[in-house]
Structure 1
Amino acid sequence: MSEETGTSKAGFVALIGAPNAGKSTLLNQLIGQKLAIVTHKAQTTRTRIRGITMEGKSQIVFVDTPGIFTPKRRLDKAMVAAAWGGADDADVTALIVDAKRTRPDHEGFIAILDSLAGAKHPCLLVLNKVDEAPRERLMELAAVANEKATFADTFMISALNGSGVADLRARLGDMMPEGPYLYPEDQVADLSQRVLASEITREKLFLRMHDELPYATTVETEGWTVKKDGSVKIDQVVYVERPGQKGIVLGKGGAAIKEIGSQARKDIEEALDIKAHLFLFVKVREKWGDDPERYRMMGLDFPGK
């Protein structure tokens, strides 16, 4: 055991599951601060976000992957490929299941279990939102999952209030392979500041727009200037696919984009521990979802049709 011998451990844990299973909320709980987008809209995580935490002598690198679902568009295919790629590259895979909404016979749930059946590394089953699910549902989900695939352990947690998360983190620390740390001990993410700032603004965009805005929207940090007083001027562009969407994002008299910018700036300052001056611009870029460069910037492989 590394705690007794002083031997360091380090490894990767992939958090996978269906959209809105609570992976991003769980990542933020495991790390102890906000790294990932958390909204009511499914499929908001597009990139593989790595969060890092220390558990005793173990360094755990969490990979919060996009939700696994049946892809229809090119962007969907890239997101699902990224999710399974994150699982394949990990030392441990944690399957996060929304116990409140997932039925034991749900087609998507069964499909993920079938895909995990041949996993070459340990897997954990994590039933989330257990405080909102009946006990019978929890027992059925656990039984079906452990029958279809091999799980080293089953955890029942609430990512929202943190119940059960400490036990999960301790178990994962034990499961990490021996080896040197992969990152400095005080580092909590390997996202660049520019990307993290973009993700924060994209979250505020989704929260403000609700169902008015399609998923064909992205945010890019195009300018990052450190001023003499140590503050940072951040220029970001919100890209939409059609001219009509630009007006939705701007809002009447620019009210919507002003509110989004104000909320994003506060979270950026808190997450990055900086004083920020955020400037948002809205531009139309038709069919950006078919542009390989946009995928590269999000850390996704550009798939074929």
Structure 2
Amino acid sequence: MTTRAGFVALIGEPNAGKSTLLNRMVGAKVSIVTHKVQTTRARIRGVAIEGESQIVFVDTPGLFRPRRRLDRAMVAAAWGGAADADIIVLLVEAHRGITAGVEVILERLEEVAKGHRVALAINKIDRVDRPVLLGLAEDLNSRFPFVETFMISAEKGYGVDDLKAWLAHELPEGPWLYPEDQIADLPLRMIAAEMTREKLTLRLHQELPYQLTVETENWEERDDGSVRIDQVVYVARDGHKGIILGKKGETIKTIGQLAREEISRFLERKVHLFLTVKVRPNWLDEAERYSEMGLDFSDGNS
């Protein structure tokens, strides 16, 4: 039996549904999903098996107009992930159509996608009527030579199996790149940190989630099969620390409990989670923080 394996880059605007689609394809939660934009920072790879094919997904940060160093590094990582992939899938939200952001992505695809097959996935199809959907598909295909177009709802699962089957068939022949039981190539320490960051992002408001990062400082396997995890939440200002801690520490306590439960479900064992909040005014300009997130610090300079 011939095996196939390769990399698939999911690209699109923030909130287009890339992380939701990745998690559904892989069948486990490897990329954090929130209602806030710019949640995905690292190029998280999820590994899905379809028949004799192994599909390695590169879940890139959403493409947007960068303002800060972190933004620039995220956008560079997204385009880098696309350039390195065997197949690129552009996600466009059905109800938003061709936004200014999608226009920019289509223009950039012309240069980045040379020699790549690019498929179009129109997501959230349950939000619009069929004539609107068909018109959008026609318009997008007139602007770029997509090899295939898929109508999907990543959240509800519509059309996802068709997309997955097509990707499996289109990947190059070759041996699998990862062990069969591996679903992501991120270290567990980073996955755990991302899960905690998701809880912080959902709980906090306005700009604060983009001013913080979470790192797993210590990971201790215990004799009883449980694991002790110590994590640090880095924030840029003293005021942010107070918000995260909350009145009498209630906010951080709730976040820690929710994160512990989720990490425990993911690892399928008992977790002892300890969170500390530290103020690091310049963490957004520290090379070390970027390497923790899988981003290239130098990409933020341009």
Q: Tell me the TM-score normalized by structure 2.
A: 0.96
Give structure 2 stretches of 5+ with no counterpart. none
Does the CA-based 8 Å contact 1:234-1:277 persist in structure 2?
A: yes
Q: CA deviation at 1:117?
A: 2.6
Cα distance in 1 for partners of 2:223, 2:267 equals 18
Cα distance in 2 for partners of 1:66, 1:88 equals 14
- Residues matched between the structures, number: 298
Q: CA deviation at 1:213?
A: 2.1
Give structure 1 stretches of 5+ with no counterpart. 1-5
**Structure 1, residues 164-212: CA drift from partner, whole Å, max 9, x if none?**
1111100000011000110011211111000000000000000011326
Which of 229, 234, 257 in structure 2 is aligned with 1:262?
257
Q: Does 1:75 align with 2:70?
A: yes
Cα distance in 2 for partners of 1:251, 1:212 equals 17
SS at match of 1:62: strand
Q: Which moved more, 1:264-273 or 1:195-204?
A: 264-273
Amino acid at match of 1:16: I
SS at match of 2:56: strand
Q: Does 1:99 align with 2:89?
A: no
**Structure 1, residues 62-98: CA drift from partner, whole Å, max 9, x if none?**
0100000000000000000000000000000000111
The match for 1:59 is 54
Q: Which moved more, 1:108-117 or 1:152-161?
A: 108-117
Which of 144, 161, 170 in structure 2 is aligned with 1:149?
144
Does the CA-based 8 Å contact 1:103-1:137 persist in structure 2?
A: no
SS at match of 1:97: strand
1:41-52 paired onto structure 2 within 5 Å = 41-52=36-47
The match for 1:304 is 301
Q: Does 1:293 align with 2:269?
A: no
SS at match of 2:274: strand
SS at match of 2:210: coil
Q: Tell me the TM-score normalized by structure 1.
A: 0.95
Does the CA-based 8 Å contact 1:233-1:277 persist in structure 2?
A: yes
The match for 1:114 is 107
SS at match of 2:294: coil
SS at match of 2:211: coil
Cα distance in 1 for partners of 2:143, 2:128 equals 21
Q: CA deviation at 1:138?
A: 1.7
**Structure 1, residues 194-237: CA drift from partner, whole Å, max 9, x if none?**
00000000000000113262411000000101111111100000
Q: Please report the RMSD computed on the Cα atoms of aligned residues, expressed in angstroms.
A: 1.1
Amino acid at match of 1:163: Y
Q: CA deviation at 1:139?
A: 2.1
Note closer, same or farther for the CA distance 1:189–1:264 as it changes in structure 2 (3 Å cut).
same
Q: Aligned residues: percent identity?
A: 60
The match for 1:242 is 237
Q: Which moved more, 1:264-273 or 1:59-68?
A: 264-273
Q: Does 1:222 align with 2:242?
A: no
Amino acid at match of 1:107: A
Does the CA-based 8 Å contact 2:200-2:209 persist in structure 1?
A: no
Cα distance in 2 for partners of 1:143, 1:289 equals 42
SS at match of 2:89: strand
SS at match of 2:241: helix
The match for 2:247 is 252
Cα distance in 2 for partners of 1:304, 1:211 equals 26
Does the CA-based 8 Å contact 2:2-2:52 persist in structure 1?
A: yes
SS at match of 2:244: helix
The match for 2:132 is 137
SS at match of 1:110: helix
Q: Does 1:124 align with 2:122?
A: no
